[in-house]
Amino acid sequence: VVSDGYTKLDAGAIHGLVPRVMWEPIVGPENIDSEHRMKLALNCAVIRTGGATVLVDTGMGDKHGPQVRERQFPGDYGYLLAGLARIGLAPADITHVVNTHLHADHCGWNTVRRDADLKPTFPRARYVCAASEYDDATHPNERTRGTYFAENFTPLAQAGVLELVSGEHTVVAGVTFIPAPGHTAGHGVVALTSGGETALFTGDLAHSATQFERLAWLPAFDVLPMVSIETKRVLTARAVAERALIVSVHNPFPGAGRLVERDGRRVFVAE
Ligand SMILES: [Zn+2]
pTM to 2 decimal places: 0.97
Tens-digit pLDDT profile for residues 5-52: 999 999 999 999 999 999 999 999 999 999 999 999 999 999 999 999
Q: What is the pLDDT of residue 254?
A: 97
Residue 14 CA, ligand 1 centroid: distance in Å: 10
Residue 116 CA, ligand 1 centroid: distance in Å: 28
Residue 263 CA, ligand 1 centroid: distance in Å: 31
Tens-digit pLDDT profile for residues 211-249: 999 999 999 999 999 999 999 999 999 999 999 999 999
Residue 271 CA, ligand 1 centroid: distance in Å: 21
Q: Is the pLDDT of residue 145 over 90?
A: yes
Residue 33 CA, ligand 1 centroid: distance in Å: 19
Residue 5 CA, ligand 1 centroid: distance in Å: 13
Q: What is the pLDDT of residue 73?
A: 97
| DSSP symbol at 148 | -
Residue 125 CA, ligand 1 centroid: distance in Å: 22
Residue 250 CA, ligand 1 centroid: distance in Å: 7
Question: Long-range contacts made by residues 206-209, C-beta under 8 angstroms, separation at least 24?
Answer: 206/232, 206/248, 207/14, 207/40, 207/250, 208/14, 208/27, 208/250, 208/251, 209/248, 209/251, 209/257, 209/268, 209/270
Strands 126-130 and 96-98: parallel
Reported confidence tier of residue 59, pLDDT bands at 50, 70, 90? very high
Residue 204 CA, ligand 1 centroid: distance in Å: 5
Q: Is the pLDDT of residue 116 over 90?
A: no
Q: Are 230 and 243 a contacting pair, CB within 8 Å?
A: no
